[in-house]
């Protein structure tokens, strides 16, 4: 199976290569794709060196699968070209997520919606993925009325340049170009561009994508997304109001039983999810599970995940695995 990774030299692209290898995805020929200035560079995969090529060359090689992590404008331009050549595309950008003709998929939550006709499959936003993983089993049991989420998102969500900039600031630099303000020793309540309604694009992604993935527009969501000076791993404080009352023990059991979730909830022993502990792992970690005493039928929890893995690369590879298991690639 020929597999193209578009954006193979980037932070998420390199993580995708690692996860394809870790999960023994049946790649017979890797086609790493990047910009023209990277053509000819070598990418290591399964002990071999593979040369970076342009997208045009990759299309001519007729891959069965292309996993994109190269930005929205590139995905809008190139994903249809790959699809027209008979190649399935899993796209990590925001380009296709809210397209009504495209499925937005987290395999554990709604992998069943995929069909043989789906040629371009968007990968959801990193902060949305980890949240809906926890919401799904609870919605099935108690039906969610409203979600209030505040995120604490690491700088790796902005790419390697952002990580480098934060570390340079930690070593004394006063320069900043990735964010409008210094990020080290700071917290910035601003991810992506502001919209006319006062929300940022990242916040609107979480609202709209959650409803689409969950298949329920009646779930009301409001979000505040925040960048914090952490190199990797996103955290979320989530307040969930249900239509019916719930049992805390049942909530913990539902989450524990859901594939891909690990409950870490032992306050007496300082046990709760943290980005450091989630680093390099594919699971979503949930803790600080407790009743909201200010109103009925409402739960508080804390959700943490490695944003480069389950929040991006792992989820994309899992989508590809669904396509392969169904015999579509």
The residues annotated with a catalytic role in the active site are 126, 234
Q: Which two tokens stand for residue 45?
A: 């995969």
3-state secondary structure of 287: strand
First to last CA, the chain: 8
Q: How far apart are CA 305 and CA 277, in angstroms?
A: 9
d(CA 221, CA 150): 11
Cα dist. 65→51, 71, 93, 120 in Å? 18, 18, 16, 10
Tokens of residue 135, six digits: 């919401």
DSSP class per residue in 175-191: --SSSSS--TT--B---
Q: Count Cβ atoms below 10 Å from residue 281 Cβ, excluding itself.
A: 16
Distance in angstroms (rounded) separating the CA atoms of residues 202 and 181: 18
Phi, psi (rounded to 5 degrees) for 154: -75, 160
CA 285/CA 262 separation, integer angstroms: 5
Continuous segment of H or E residues that includes residue 60: helix 55-60
Residues 165 and 167: their CA atoms lie apart, in Å, by 5
């Amino acid at each position: 199976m020929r597999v193209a990774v578009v954006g193979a030299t980037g932070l998420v692209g390199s993580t995708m290569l690692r996860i394809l290898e870790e999960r023994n995805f049946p790649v017979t020929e890797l086609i790493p794709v990047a910009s023209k200035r990277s053509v000819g560079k070598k990418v290591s995969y399964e002990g071999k060196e593979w040369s970076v090529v342009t997208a045009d060359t990759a299309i001519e090689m007729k891959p069965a699968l292309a996993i994109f992590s190269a930005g929205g404008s590139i995905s809008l331009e190139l994903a249809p070209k790959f699809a027209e050549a008979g190649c399935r595309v899993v796209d990590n950008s925001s380009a296709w997520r809210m397209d009504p003709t495209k499925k937005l998929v987290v395999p554990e939550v709604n992998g069943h919606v995929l069909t043989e006709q789906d040629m371009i499959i968007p990968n959801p936003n990193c902060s949305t993925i980890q949240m809906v993983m926890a919401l799904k089993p609870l919605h099935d049991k108690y039906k969610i009325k409203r979600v209030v989420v505040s995120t604490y998102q690491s700088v790796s969500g902005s790419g390697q340049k952002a990580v480098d900039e934060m570390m340079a600031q930690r070593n004394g630099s006063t320069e900043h170009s990735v964010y409008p303000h210094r990020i080290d020793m700071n917290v910035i309540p601003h991810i992506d561009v502001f919209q006319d309604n006062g929300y940022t694009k990242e916040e609107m992604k979480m609202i709209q994508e959650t409803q689409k993935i969950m298949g329920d527009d009646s779930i009301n969501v409001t979000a505040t997304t925040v960048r914090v000076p952490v190199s990797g791993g996103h955290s979320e404080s989530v307040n969930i109001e249900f239509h019916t009352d719930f049992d805390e023990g049942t909530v913990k059991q539902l989450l524990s039983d859901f594939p891909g979730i690990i409950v870490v909830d032992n306050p007496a022993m300082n046990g709760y999810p943290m980005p450091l502990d989630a680093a390099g792992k594919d699971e979503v970690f949930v803790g600080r599970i407790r009743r909201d005493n200010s109103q009925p039928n409402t739960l508080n929890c804390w959700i943490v995940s490695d944003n480069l893995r389950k929040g991006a690369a792992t989820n994309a590879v899992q989508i590809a695995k669904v396509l392969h298991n169904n015999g579509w690639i």
